[in-house]
Structure 1
Amino acid sequence: MTGREGAVAAARGAIGARFRLHGRDPVFGLDCVGLAAIAARGGGFAGAIPADYAIRGADPSRAIDSAGLSRAVPAAPGDLLLFAAGPAQFHLAVMVPGGIVHADAMLRRVVERPGPPPWPLVGAWCFEGED
């Protein structure tokens, strides 16, 4: 299994977990960073995931770059996607075949959303060393 396949499997394995701000454990709840951490571990990434961060603020692209992920152009299933969800508000999701998996605050759970995402894409990252 490739890193991207592992990330897709891990993200899909979290579907149904409840939404919880700053959540890192699917048993207790996940936010988009928690879901990204689960997908990263499933993809073989062993870097540190931030525990304290602001929901709104500056573009987090630099922080993702410095965490050890490589930019993905074009994005592929298993990659981490960063969206501009609102004014100075960003959201992470994992690309899967046919859509994304993300922690949906409105639905209060992790879901798979088919089709194109509704937010502008800021950037995409793959696990270092991926093809």
Structure 2
Amino acid sequence: MSDRALAVGRVLEELIEANRMLAGPRVAPFAGLELSRSHLEALFLIAHRDNVTPGLLASSMRITAGAVTQLLAKLREAGLVVATPTPTDSRSITLALTGSGQQELTVFEARAVEQSLPHFEPLTAAELDMLSGLLRRVTRRS
């Protein structure tokens, strides 16, 4: 195995460990509901990306269209997500958080950051910025 492949393997090992440390419970309280990590991931993607469609959600989360439909059903029933026809293609919909969905997510994210702060204590602000930038490059979201 090449030195680069070994280095990538070490990075993957650390990412898996970091994910385990930061992920929290498999089901989390959110707006009086117990949502799965997949529900929370969908809410996060809808909140932090532009023009999210069910197809984009499926590809980003690496799940089937049917799984997205199930996820969205619960989020829409809870009044957290709304779907509107896409202006350029009436056959497609764009997803957005409702006002209450955005408020709940803001509180949830603030709590998650607060709980994660101790794990990042060894890093300076500059190192955190560098880590964020490196991960963004790896995920090709420059």
Q: Which has the larger radius of gyration?
A: 2
More strand by share: 1
Determine which structure has the larger helix proportion and give its number.
2
Normalising by structure 1, we get a TM-score of 0.25
Which structure's relative contact order is higher, taking Cα pairs within 8 Å and 6+ residues apart?
Answer: 1
